[in-house]
């Protein structure tokens, strides 16, 4: 049930009417008439009170809470919040002191990138080979997407080092930097935690346990297709396409089994194997299926307009995830042609474009077979490339 609050003018007019009814006298039309000045002052105070009440009511509900209210809900729901994550880069060092051993860590050599961010060698020590070369991982001192550096970029030491060349080359992003969760994402996590309280090893618990591990964003839990077996598909916020590494899969498995902190989370029945030798519990990678989306007849067809539409479609495909009955709060488990039309039409109307003719989509594996809808399967997500004509 919604409540319609009075506007400031409505409050003002109501107060004027109430005063006139009490004193039995009409208020003069002049704006500086005492009753009008008094009514506007009272209306302003009352409207401020309305706004304060609404702001406090927003804090009551996890889906709208903010500031200290959000902090309180995080505590009450035992929600794990992912903070900023530093990038981990792989670099090539060429031409240092042959066979030298260099001390790493935060007290060792520091490199700075063109982004102004600084990095340290992840290992406590690292060795150069007989030519003075090495490939090592370096980690940013701070978290955030801004700490990512593209492969092929040159970085420099912030101070001379007797055993290292001034420059090194980034060859890969071993683990992407991330800005951490936004307030909207934290609110969604809190709603999930409240709607799925711990239940002693029920299906809903596995997603919660997975998200307690570093960089694990979501978990999709399946049970019942094979009696006595649980399959947990996870995503990782720091990896390309959010596909977790084997090390992350092992970490979540060990954490739920209790091998990391000694706290056995998994119920006893899931510790063993099925009669056929299959594990009763398995952690798997949630992977995106690639699609090709074709848009025709965009007017005006400019690179800027294409980019706006692709960004909106990327956002749509990013919401596609498995729908698990009894666990999923919303059903985002099916890609539909009608939804794609709606997304593009919204961009067309928002930016004042003339329009477009059609949109179609197909899997990258079968580009010649257009689809009208595609329901994703176990642990399956979606991404797309785009074709224009």
The per-residue DSSP string of 182-210 comes to -HHHHHHHHHHHHHS---SS-HHHHHHHH
Domain that holds residue 44: 8-60
> By C-alpha distance, which of 246, 232, 236, 189 is closest to 213?
236
- 381 and 301 assigned to the same domain: yes
pLDDT range class, residue 202, cuts 50, 70, 90: confident
Spatial separation of the C-alpha atoms in residues 55 and 50, rounded to whole Å? 9
Highest mean pLDDT among 7-11, 20-24, 46-50, 290-294: 290-294
Pull the structure tokens for residue 376. Answer: 């994703």
- 51 and 73 assigned to the same domain: no
pLDDT digits (tens, 9 = 90+) for 338-379: 999 999 999 999 999 999 999 999 999 999 999 999 999 999
> Does the residue 3 lie in any domain?
no
Average confidence score pLDDT of the chain: 90
212-221, 256-265, 292-301: which has the minimum mean pLDDT? 256-265
- 296 and 384 assigned to the same domain: yes
User: Does residue 224 surpass a pLDDT of 80?
Assistant: no
Domains held by the chain: number: 5
Residue where a domain stops, chosen among 231, 255, 285: 285
Spatial separation of the C-alpha atoms in residues 205 and 244, rounded to whole Å? 20
Pull the structure tokens for residue 62. Answer: 């996890």
User: Does residue 264 surpass a pLDDT of 80?
Assistant: no
Question: In terms of pTM, does the model score above 0.75?
Answer: no
Spatial separation of the C-alpha atoms in residues 339 and 360, rounded to whole Å? 11
- 299 and 345 assigned to the same domain: yes
Report the sign of the C-alpha dihedral through residues 122, 257, 274, 229, in that order.
Answer: negative
> By C-alpha distance, which of 259, 320, 326, 260 is closest to 288?
320
Residue where a domain stops, chosen among 255, 285, 315: 285
Spatial separation of the C-alpha atoms in residues 264 and 251, rounded to whole Å? 14
pLDDT digits (tens, 9 = 90+) for 142-188: 999 999 999 999 999 999 999 999 999 999 998 889 888 899 989 98
- 66 and 156 assigned to the same domain: no
User: Does residue 200 surpass a pLDDT of 70?
Assistant: no
Residue where a domain stops, chosen among 160, 193, 226: 193
pLDDT digits (tens, 9 = 90+) for 84-96: 989 999 999 999 9
Spatial separation of the C-alpha atoms in residues 199 and 45, rounded to whole Å? 48
User: Does residue 1 surpass a pLDDT of 50?
Assistant: no
């Amino acid at each position: 049930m919604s409540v319609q609050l009075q506007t400031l003018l409505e409050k003002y007019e109501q107060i004027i009417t109430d005063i006139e009814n009490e004193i039995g006298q009409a208020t003069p039309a002049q704006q500086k008439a005492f009753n009008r000045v008094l009514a506007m002052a009272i209306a302003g105070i009352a409207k401020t009170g309305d706004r304060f009440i609404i702001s406090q009511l927003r804090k009551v509900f996890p889906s709208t809470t903010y500031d200290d209210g959000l902090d309180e809900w995080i505590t009450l729901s035992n929600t794990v919040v992912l903070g900023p994550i530093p990038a981990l880069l792989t670099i090539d060092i060429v031409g240092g002191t042959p066979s030298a051993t260099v001390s790493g860590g935060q007290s060792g050599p520091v490199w700075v990138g063109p982004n102004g961010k600084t990095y340290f060698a992840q290992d406590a020590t690292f060795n150069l080979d007989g030519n003075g070369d090495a490939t090592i991982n370096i980690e940013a001192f701070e978290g955030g997407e801004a700490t990512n550096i593209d492969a092929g970029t040159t970085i420099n030491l912030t101070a001379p080092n007797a055993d290292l060349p001034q420059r090194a080359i980034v060859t890969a992003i071993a683990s992407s930097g991330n800005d951490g969760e936004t307030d909207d994402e934290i609110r969604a996590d809190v709603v999930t935690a409240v709607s799925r309280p711990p239940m002693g090893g029920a299906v809903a618990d596995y997603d919660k346990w997975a998200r307690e591990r570093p960089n694990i964003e979501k978990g999709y839990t399946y049970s019942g297709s094979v009696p006595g077996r649980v399959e947990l598909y996870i995503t990782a916020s720091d990896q390309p396409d959010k596909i977790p590494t084997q090390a992350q899969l092992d970490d979540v498995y060990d954490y739920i089994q209790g091998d990391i902190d000694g706290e056995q989370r998994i119920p006893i029945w899931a510790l063993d194997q099925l009669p056929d030798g299959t594990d009763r519990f398995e952690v798997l990678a949630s992977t995106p299926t690639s699609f090709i989306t074709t848009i025709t007849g965009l007017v005006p067809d400019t690179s800027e307009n294409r980019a706006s539409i692709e960004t909106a479609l990327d956002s749509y495909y990013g919401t596609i995830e498995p729908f698990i009955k009894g666990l999923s709060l919303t059903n985002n488990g099916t890609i539909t042609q009608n939804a794609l039309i709606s997304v593009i039409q919204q961009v067309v109307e928002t930016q004042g474009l003339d329009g477009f003719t059609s949109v179609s989509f197909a899997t990258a594996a079968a580009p010649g077979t257009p689809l009208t809808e595609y329901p994703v399967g176990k642990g399956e997500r979606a991404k797309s490339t785009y074709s224009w004509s």
